Structure 1
Amino acid sequence: MSPTSSAPLPWDVHRLPRADGRIFLVTGGNAGIGYFVAEQLSATGATVVLGSRNPAKAEAATASIRTRVPGARVRAVQLDLADLSSLGTAVESLEAERLDAVVLNAGVALDDPPRRETGDGHELMFGTNHLGHFALTHWLMPLLSAAPEARIVTTGSFAAKSERLDIEDLQSRKDYRPKRTYGRSKLAQMYFGLELDRRLRAVDSTVASVVVHPGGALDSLTPSRPPVHVRTARTRLIAAPAALLLQGKQAGAWPAVRAVLDPTVRGGQLWGPRVFGLRGEPRREPVWSHLADSSVAARSWDASRDLTGVDLGTVPG
């Protein structure tokens, strides 16, 4: 192959392409996987905006990124996905003419009962993780459509692989089990990401929607970023055997980062870790069989529209 060939180079998670002049929003960018998505994207020269419910945590995260990425263009906006009425104002506070990508990453995970609700009366995990992002996308669409080739990257979860949506009980009113409700909230997000791309393609939009998942990403395998995340020597020792199959959250960020930056990534695709879908460098994987059911995706979309009062049915091109 000649040196002038235009064939893409192999993807290297440690040598990301430049993205100077572009602007990316990461929801939940103040902690966990979202923090590492923001940190890695900041190293490309792009402007990265952290959407965060907690201003103090957002300030700590931006300070940490600036320490590790000299010259980082990073800032924060207050974003509470559990409060649907606040989202329009949050998007206005971006003060941007366009948005090149959004990573829909923020999430709430509860381990124990009782069932909790948002101020809008939605089950907390479903209402925040899915409905909040569904409504936020509506408000962001004009900014995304103003960019040349914007991307909406939805961060799902490996936990969603074994779950199935109960369209008649999306709010887990009849049978609430926290871990299952969490998995289903992430599954609803993933259905949304795929259905959104189908609708974007139908109107010849320049915006693409991609779905990713981080595999098995543990705090105990995640490098320290004090005060955002601190890992002790004892934690590192205890977690060592898990590293054979799982990974830290810095690696869990890789599929989302690739979905934002790699020009070969296309809308409607699913990306996750290379090794058993649990760890390793990001790769495209087949859309899970239950996720490929467009009838379930369409019914979930309609229910989400009714619950949020937001109509994304005619997305702008």
Structure 2
Amino acid sequence: MPSVHRTPRWDVHRLPRARGKSFLVTGGNAGIGYFVAEQLAGTGATVVLGSRDRAKAEAAIGSIGSRVPGARVKYVPLDLADPASPAASVDALGLERLDAVVLNAGVALDHPPRRETRDGHELMFATNHLGHFALIHHLAPLLTATPGSRIVTTGSFAAKSERLDLDDLRSTQDYRPKRAYARSKLAQMLFALELDRRLRAAGSTTLSVLVHPGGALDSLTPSRPPVHLRTTGERLSRLPLGLVVQGKDAAARPAVRAVLDPSVRGGQMLGPRAFGLRGTPRIEPLWTHLTDTTTAARLWAASRDLTGNDPTFTAPAGFVGTEGPATGHGEAGASIG
């Protein structure tokens, strides 16, 4: 009987080497983004932290360097709420190609009043979605120059029960902070999947992959001084929650897998294995409302009009791809563990 080839199960503790590759992580100076950057740095790749706070980015670089000998980590200024920043940040990268970008940075406001950017957009929608939309527009040439590059978009479990109001994307009516945050993350998730469809239609080899981190708490996150400090009391008081959710180090793993796993396909979504809240990363079925192509296309058009940007990709010159479209979005349709 002929042998059946199976892709080895993904091991979060034995990541493939990526020396010579370059990865950009937005918001890589803190939270989940920090641990995405730390884990990617351990592969030997060059990791660039996109952050609006130089001091925090430098602290993160120092922390990563203390844990990853020989880490190659850099910083580029990036303020996603500033419409002029994405273009300047891409220029400051000084790269001719980019293997992956992780769209991780985000703002979450808990209380009113509603806040706006200087160009009149609601702050969370502008930062979490519009800023990343513009960033991908400006990164498109670098990603196109890199066959098989990846755009990894970080969504949120909070978006699972939300729906977009396309007539009020700026949340000017009945503003509720938690709802506005969830809708901004839903917009990012719909963008990632619409981008996948457009990449395939263009014959591009760049992959758009969607991830969500599940439930992540600071109190379950290991200390990384001075970036994050956890007291013994905090750790002990929240231990029971570890049965349901996880720390931000574990929550970073779906994004890391989406960047590194050669079996991941465009249009797939990765999240924690246990109820989508904790555990090792796996490919999971898309939530039903994420498959709404009409809403996604209308969101793209609105984002284009609001930002003046329109991310466009083509196949790399002279490159003949062998990767076909993904055959399914669930674990059963993939050849990975």
SS of structure 2 residue aligned to 1:284: strand
Are residues 1:239 and 2:238 paired? yes
Unaligned runs of 5+ in 1: none
Q: Distance in 2 between matches of 1:148 and 1:68?
A: 31
- Match of 1:9? 8
Cα deviation, residue 316, structure 1: 2.8
Q: Distance in 1 between matches of 2:143 and 2:272?
A: 27
Cα deviation, residue 27, structure 1: 0.1
Alignment of 1:119-268 (within 5 A): 119-268=118-267
Contact 1:142 1:316 (C-alpha < 8 Å) held by counterparts = no
- Post-superposition Cα deviations, 1:218-272, rounded to whole Å, max 9, x if no partner, equal 1111000011000001111111111110000000000000000000000000110
SS of structure 1 residue aligned to 2:299: helix
User: Normalization by structure 2: what TM-score?
Assistant: 0.92
Cα deviation, residue 102, structure 1: 0.1
SS of structure 2 residue aligned to 1:274: strand
**Matched AA of 1:316:** T
Quote the sequence identity (%).
Answer: 72
Are residues 1:316 and 2:314 paired? yes
Q: Distance in 1 between matches of 2:112 and 2:310?
A: 32
Q: Distance in 1 between matches of 2:4 and 2:59?
A: 44
SS of structure 2 residue aligned to 1:228: coil
SS of structure 1 residue aligned to 2:23: strand
**Matched AA of 1:21:** G
Q: Distance in 2 between matches of 1:223 and 1:245?
A: 17
User: Normalization by structure 1: what TM-score?
Assistant: 0.97
- Match of 2:329? none
Q: Distance in 2 between matches of 1:284 and 1:144?
A: 24
Q: Distance in 1 between matches of 2:187 and 2:62?
A: 33
SS of structure 2 residue aligned to 1:267: coil
**Matched AA of 2:127:** T
Aligned-pair Cα RMSD in Å: 1.3
Alignment of 1:49-68 (within 5 A): 49-68=48-67
- Match of 2:291? 292
SS of structure 1 residue aligned to 2:8: coil
Structure 1: 4+ residue segments shifted above 3 A: 4-7
